[in-house]
Amino acid sequence: MNEATTDANLNLDNAVHGYRRRAIIAIQIAFLIGAIALFAFITGTWKVVLCVVASGLLSSISIGLALREKISAAALILGAQFLVLPTYLAYIGLGTFDSVVLIYPAGMMAISVVGKPRQTAIFAMVTMLCVTFVGLATLNNWIGNTILAPLVADNPVDIVTTLIVVAFAGIVATYVSVILTGLLRALADHQATLEERILRRTRDLAASNDELRLAVKDLDQARVELVRGEKLAGLGSLVAGVSHELNTPIGNTAVAASTMLHHVTAFRQQIDTGNLRKSDMLVFLNRCAEGAELMVSSSHRAADLVASFKQVAVDQASDRRRKFELDEVVNDVLRSMRPSFKGREWTIVCDIPRGIQCDGYPGPLGQVMTNLVQNSVFHGFRDRTHGHIQIASALVDDGQVQITVRDDGHGISPDALGRIFDPFFTTRLGQGGSGLGLTIVHNLVTTVLGGRIDVTSVAGQGTRFTLTIPLVAPQIKLGEEAVS
């Protein structure tokens, strides 16, 4: 027992110190009351008055020392009062033997209460000497006149009996003081043991708390990595879809260019042979015009796809804030996703009116729309080759816009409906579902976009997600934690 023992001993010493201080003050107040009572009714000589005044003065000094936490000095004065007072009374001729019988045992009991075991033992030995002196003085009529003096003089056994009683009282007082101190020390040791256990358990809890904190940090880092992977996977799907979509205009351009090259070669041969006719020239020009038109339209188509992809990719990668038209952002996202849905009878209808201008983060909004559409396709239309998704919006009060994403898929069961936004919750465990798609949606809507998201669903009838976001998003510092 180290630090705990020290603290327990300090607490014990403080408690005992306060107990002794209060006991000394109580005894000395009793002395003062007695002195005042004696002073009011006393009719003796100046020596008696001096005794009473000195006793009151010593009591006042002892109380002052006790209040100033000088317990040993206060106890010493108290002991001196009990030892000197009987002797002085004997000296002035007032009841020597009676004083021994009444005052000395009372003093011994008082010192056993306020003193330490060693102090109590010393006081008991000094008291025995005083008792012996007073007894001999009374027995030989050296000093004092007592009520019992004649009897004592005739029967010295009373003096011996008094000595034995006082000695026994001293032994008992010392023993009681030792026992009480031992009990207090045992209590201190027990308290120290308890405090050491508490400290040890506190340290264990602190260590466990540190381990849990590290585990939470690792889990949070893993979550961030999973979210980053989820976002990169979505961006990868976007790239794959756009590259697939670009194959058509690029292929058309290549076919048109190859055809035009073939016609140019044939036209040159006709010129070289001199067989060129006006009709051949007109046919050649018409074919060149058709090829050029096809190349221009295909190039424009490719440019539009690249621009759309660039805007969506930049928004999702940078999370930068800007002003944007709601319908343009949603349509760009849907346009980039459509190639991955080819070959399936899935219909996606966007009923967002033009003119809804927002000031916020189109990247996170696009991520939300992507995840909601993918959720409808991969979960709502599972094991189906057809389905209908409708995206609509409407302005509401307080400068907000409400966006709904509705599908006619399988719907969500009541048990799962309350957990769909929980991290890592998925109904396709082991089938490629990470369980983070809707968690990302919820975090983006509630933190980055500053809105809320509600969901209603009926099993077998479809699901509807309702986003309510402000037209002007809150100003926040985006980072992985914010957008995850």
Query: Are β-strands 400-407 and 462-470 bridged in parallel, bridged antiparallel, or unpaired?
Result: antiparallel
Please give the backbone phi and psi of residue 451, each rounded to the nearest 5 degrees, phi first: -125, -150
The two three-digit tokens of residue 190, written as one number: 């027990």
For residue 252, count other CB atoms closer than 10 A to its CB.
17
For residue 86, count other CB atoms closer than 10 A to its CB.
27
Beta partners for residue 223, in sequence order: none
Query: Are β-strands 452-458 and 462-470 bridged in parallel, bridged antiparallel, or unpaired?
Result: antiparallel
Q: What amino acid is encoded at 327 in this protein?
A: D
Q: What are the residue ranges spanned by the domains of the chain?
A: 3-201, 321-483
- State whether the Cα torsion 412-372-221-446 is positive or negative: negative
Distance between CA atoms of residues 419 and 180, nearest Å: 64
Specify whether the CB–CB gap between 21 and 71 falls below 8 A: yes
Per-residue pLDDT of the chain (484 residues), as tens digits, is 455 555 555 565 666 677 778 877 887 787 777 777 666 665 556 766 777 777 778 888 888 888 888 877 887 887 777 777 766 666 665 555 555 566 667 677 677 667 677 777 777 777 777 767 766 666 666 555 444 445 444 555 555 666 666 666 666 666 666 776 777 677 767 777 887 888 888 888 888 888 888 888 877 777 666 656 655 555 565 566 566 667 777 877 888 788 888 878 887 887 777 776 777 778 778 888 887 887 887 787 777 666 655 555 544 545 678 889 999 999 888 887 777 676 677 788 899 999 899 998 888 888 889 888 888 888 778 777 778 899 999 998 878 999 999 998 888 888 888 788 876 666 655 454 556 678 888 888 888 888 999 999 888 888 999 999 999 988 876 544 443 3
Alpha-carbon separation of residue 325 from 224, 270, 313 (angstroms): 30, 55, 17
CATH classification code of 321-483 = 3.30.565.10
Distance between CA atoms of residues 232 and 194, nearest Å: 56
Q: Which pLDDT score is estimated for 377?
A: 83
Please give the backbone phi and psi of residue 48, each rounded to the nearest 5 degrees, phi first: -65, -45
Distance between CA atoms of residues 254 and 261, nearest Å: 10
Task: Tell me the DSSP string of 119-149.
Answer: HHHHHHHHHHHHHHHHHHHHHTTSS---SSH
User: Among 235, 228, 229, which Cα is nearest to 481's?
Assistant: 228
Contacts of 51 (CB under 8 A, 6+ apart): 85, 88, 89, 92
Contacts of 165 (CB under 8 A, 6+ apart): 105
Specify whether the CB–CB gap between 118 and 177 falls below 8 A: no
